[in-house]
């Protein structure tokens, strides 16, 4: 996607018409400003000051690795891990950084809403990702206010989302089911869809830049925190099939016990600022169980895509949907086998 003046004008018009600050978190300007480094030593320094000090000066926290030999000695590669709590990745990334492996992490856009958190995550080289549904709700809230976004749910939201996803045509939506706000959304749906695709294109560029710099990508395929393994999203599988890089499945066990919500008393307050910088932990054991790499030469082979395709494009989402879904299932099943029973979700994964 070459961002010529006409396409950039569409982005600016959406920002104007929906009262969006051009510098809003995870927006076009923000993504354009992110600079990844080949060897971000700052990651090592910050991790030692926070997680390293926590483990060193507050004994009683055991970090155990099983199958660590399955992690490549150099990047790029992809790590797919369950997300039991806010901080279950900290001991893992600290250990890998000590081995000279630096990371880029996909983080949900809402974590960048706080200015201090945004500055910190940008400093650490994190990549904000905006799910389509979250993007629609951000626009709705910006245009119509916080109270209005509460009503943007149920059938009203689903119809707008289905049109956005091109599952249904706007002409088939019943006008009696729409309010003024939703009708306005649908009139601008093509421009809104383009803006989100532009954001995801930038995420794809940043992700490829991370790989080009030899970083590994850490992704939580559930897209949210779940003590029990949740349903996987297809973005990680799409990247794996596009780049043909190995996916290293890791089951994190017990992270929610050493990083429960009440373990960070300094986080109390309106902004949660300190929570981002001072994640304390409690006594306990966290086990990282590392599985065999999943590659397009073995476990992911049935879903391999030999033709070139644009990452996160609407065309590829339609054309290769079954392959993305199939590869996601393989990845999630692998994680499921690596987590303890209390983290397993047998309804989803048997």
**CATH code for the domain of 245:** 3.40.1130
Domain encompassing residue 100: 5-129+196-253+285-349
Bridge partners of 104, per DSSP, are 217
Q: Look up residue 144 and give its two tokens.
A: 């119509």
Q: Looking at the predicted structure, is the pLDDT value of residue 268 above 70? A: no
Q: Would you list the DSSP string of 10-25?
A: HHHHHHHHTT--TT-T
| pLDDT score recorded for residue 276 | 43
Q: What are the pLDDT digits (tens) for 135-189?
A: 998 888 888 887 777 777 788 888 889 999 888 888 888 776 677 888 888 999 9
Averaged pLDDT for residues 54-76: 90
pTM of the model: 0.90
Structural domain contains residue 335? yes
In-domain check, residue 341:
yes
At residue 183, the pLDDT reads: 86
Residue at 65 is within a domain: yes
Residue 262 counted as domain residue: no
% of the chain residues with pLDDT over 90: 57
Q: 168 in a domain, yes or no? A: no
The CA-based angle 230-235-237, given to 5 degrees, is: 90
| Total tally of structural domains belonging to the chain | 1
Q: Is residue 161 part of a domain?
A: no
Evaluate whether residue 138 is within a structural domain: no
Q: Is residue 187 part of a domain?
A: no
Task: Give the pLDDT confidence score for residue 326 in this predicted structure.
Answer: 98
Give pLDDT, residue 2: 54
**The pLDDT value given to residue 271:** 41
How high does pLDDT run on average in the chain?
A: 88
Q: Which of 223, 26, 52 is nearest to 130 (CA)?
A: 26
194-247: pLDDT as tens digits: 999 999 999 999 999 999 999 999 999 999 889 999 999 999 999 999 999 999
Residue 266 has pLDDT above 70, yes or no: no
DSSP-H helix ranges across the chain: 5-17, 28-33, 41-47, 53-57, 90-98, 115-124, 132-144, 146-151, 154-164, 180-187, 189-212, 235-243, 255-258, 273-277, 314-319, 321-338, 346-349
Average pLDDT score over residue span 91-102: 95
Q: Report the distance separating Cα 253 and Cα 31, nearest Å.
A: 33
């Amino acid at each position: 996607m070459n961002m010529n003046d006409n396409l950039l004008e569409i982005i600016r018009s959406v920002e104007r018409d929906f009262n969006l600050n051009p510098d809003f978190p995870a927006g076009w300007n923000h993504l354009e400003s992110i600079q990844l480094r080949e060897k971000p030593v700052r990651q090592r320094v910050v991790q030692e000051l926070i997680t390293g000090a926590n483990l060193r000066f507050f004994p009683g926290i055991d970090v155990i690795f099983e199958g660590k030999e399955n992690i490549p000695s150099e990047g790029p590669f992809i790590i797919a891990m369950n997300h039991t709590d806010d901080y279950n990745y900290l001991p893992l990334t600290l250990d890998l950084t000590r081995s000279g492996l630096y990371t880029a992490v996909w983080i949900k856009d809402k974590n960048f809403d706080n200015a201090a958190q945004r500055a910190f995550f940008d400093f650490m080289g994190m990549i904000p990702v905006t799910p389509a549904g979250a993007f629609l709700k951000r626009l709705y809230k910006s245009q119509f206010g916080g109270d209005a976004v509460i009503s943007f749910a149920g059938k009203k939201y689903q119809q707008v989302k289905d049109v956005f996803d091109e599952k249904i045509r706007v002409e088939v939506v019943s006008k009696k089911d729409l309010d003024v706000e939703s009708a306005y959304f649908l009139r601008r749906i093509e421009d809104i869809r383009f803006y989100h695709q532009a954001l995801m294109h930038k995420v794809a560029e940043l992700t490829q830049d991370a790989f080009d710099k030899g970083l590994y990508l850490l992704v939580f395929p559930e897209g949210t925190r779940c003590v029990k393994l949740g349903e996987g999203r297809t973005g990680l599988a799409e990247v794996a099939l596009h780049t043909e890089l190995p996916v290293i499945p890791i089951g994190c066990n017990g992270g929610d016990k050493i990083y429960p919500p009440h373990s960070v008393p300094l986080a109390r307050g309106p902004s949660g600022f300190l929570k981002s910088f001072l994640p304390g932990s409690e006594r306990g054991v966290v086990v990282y169980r590392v599985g065999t790499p999943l590659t397009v030469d073995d476990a992911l082979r049935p879903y391999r895509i030999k033709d070139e395709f644009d990452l996160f494009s609407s065309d590829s989402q339609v054309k290769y949907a079954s392959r993305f879904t199939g590869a996601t299932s393989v990845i999630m099943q692998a994680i499921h086998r690596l987590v303890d029973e209390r983290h397993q979700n047998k309804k989803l994964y048997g």
